[in-house]
C-alpha cells in the first residue's frame, strides 16, 4: 500500500482542520511511515484524501516546514527532512565519539592552532593568570560532509603544543587527552544560550549572517578536579539539537517534633 493510501479523511472534531492534518502528517513522519527524503502526496492528493480545502493543507504543510520536518523542491514536490542529529548532554563525550556511534560520518577542519595570551574570561575558567600563554584551536566539524559546528578550544600551553602533532582533523581532543596522554577526564560545566551568527560564524557554518546559532560554553575538568579544556561550541540551529533527560527531585518531608 502506498503512503498516500494510508491517509484517511479527517473526522469531525472541535480541533481546527489544519491542526488535524498537520498532526496526522507529523505522526506518519515520526513513526517512519514517511521515511527521510520520501515524497509526500501532492497538495491535490491531500485535498482529496483528507476531504479538506487546499488552504487547510497548505497551512498544515507550512507549520511542518517551520518545524524542519519537511522541505519543498519547486516543481518537484514536498519531501520529508532527515531528522536532526543530536547529542545527549547527560554524559561527557566528544562530538565525533557521539556521532560515529550513531552512524554519522565526521570530518574536522582545523582552521587555526596558535598560542594566544589568555583573556580575562579564559584565564578565569582555566585558573591561570591573565595574559598567560594558552593554546587556541579552532575547528569546523562536518557531519556527513555538511558543516554543523564551529568550535573554539582553549587549553594549557604545554598540552596545546603536544596537540600540534596529533590528528585533530580525524580525532576528538577528549580521546587524545585520555588515550594518548593518559589524562583522565572527570566532569564538565556547561552553559547554553542562543545568539545570532556574526560574519565569522556565518562563513564557517554556511548560514546567513544573523541566523540563529546555539552556543555551548563547556569547561571540562580532569578526574582530579583541575580545569583543563575550555570551549565555545557554536551549532547550526537548523541542523543539530542537544537532548537531556532530567528527573524531578522528591521534596523532603519535614517531620514536626
Residues 143 and 175 reside in one and the same domain: yes
State the pLDDT at residue 232: 96
Residues 66 and 111 reside in one and the same domain: no
Tell me the CATH number at 196: 3.40.1410.10
Q: Which of 80, 106, 135 is the last residue of a domain?
A: 80
Residues 115 and 69 reside in one and the same domain: no
Residues 116 and 238 reside in one and the same domain: yes
Q: Indicate if the pLDDT at residue 94 is higher than 90.
A: no
Q: How far apart are the two ends of the chain, measured CA to CA in Å? A: 69
Q: Indicate if the pLDDT at residue 182 is higher than 70.
A: yes
Residues 120 and 235 reside in one and the same domain: yes
Tell me the CATH number at 25: 1.10.10.10
Kind of pairing between the strands at 240-243 and 85-88: parallel
pLDDT in tens, 17-49: 989 999 999 888 877 788 888 999 999 999 999
Residues 52 and 168 reside in one and the same domain: no
> Residue 253: inside a domain, yes or no?
no
Q: Which of 80, 114, 146 is the last residue of a domain?
A: 80
pLDDT in tens, 195-252: 999 999 999 999 899 998 999 999 999 999 999 999 999 998 777 766 767 678 777 6
pLDDT band with cut points at 50, 70 and 90 for residue 157: very high
What residue numbers bound the domain in which 17 lies? 3-80
Residues 139 and 179 reside in one and the same domain: yes
How many domains does the chain divide into? 2
Residues 90 and 76 reside in one and the same domain: no
Amino acid at each position: 500500500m502506498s503512503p498516500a493510501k494510508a491517509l484517511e479523511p479527517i473526522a469531525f472534531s472541535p480541533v481546527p482542520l489544519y491542526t488535524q492534518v498537520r498532526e496526522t502528517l507529523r505522526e506518519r513522519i515520526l513513526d517512519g511511515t514517511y521515511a527521510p527524503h520520501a515524497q509526500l502526496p501532492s497538495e491535490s492528493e491531500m485535498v482529496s484524501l483528507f476531504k479538506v480545502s487546499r488552504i487547510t493543507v497548505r497551512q498544515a504543510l507550512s507549520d511542518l516546514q517551520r518545524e524542519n520536518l519537511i522541505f519543498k523542491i519547486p516543481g518537484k514536490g514536498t519531501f520529508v527532512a532527515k531528522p536532526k542529529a543530536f547529542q545527549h548532554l547527560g554524559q561527557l563525550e566528544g562530538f565525533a565519539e557521539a556521532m560515529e556511534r550513531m552512524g554519522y560520518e565526521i570530518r574536522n577542519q582545523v582552521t587555526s592552532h596558535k598560542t594566544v595570551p589568555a583573556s580575562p574570561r579564559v584565564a578565569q575558567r582555566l585558573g591561570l593568570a591573565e595574559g598567560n600563554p594558552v593554546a587556541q584551536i579552532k575547528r569546523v566539524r562536518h557531519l556527513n560532509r555538511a558543516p554543523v559546528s564551529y568550535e573554539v578550544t582553549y587549553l594549557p600551553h604545554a598540552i596545546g603544543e603536544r596537540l600540534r602533532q596529533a590528528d585533530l582533523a580525524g580525532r576528538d581532543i577528549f580521546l587524545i587527552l585520555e588515550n594518548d596522554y593518559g589524562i583522565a577526564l572527570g566532569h564538565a560545566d556547561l552553559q547554553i544560550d542562543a545568539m545570532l551568527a556574526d560574519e565569522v560564524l556565518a562563513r564557517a557554518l554556511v548560514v546567513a549572517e544573523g541566523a540563529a546559532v546555539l552556543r555551548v560554553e563547556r569547561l571540562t575538568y580532569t578526574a582530579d578536579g583541575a580545569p583543563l579544556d575550555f570551549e565555545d561550541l557554536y551549532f547550526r540551529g537548523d541542523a543539530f539539537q542537544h537532548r537531556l533527560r532530567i528527573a524531578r527531585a522528591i521534596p523532603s518531608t519535614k517531620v514536626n517534633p
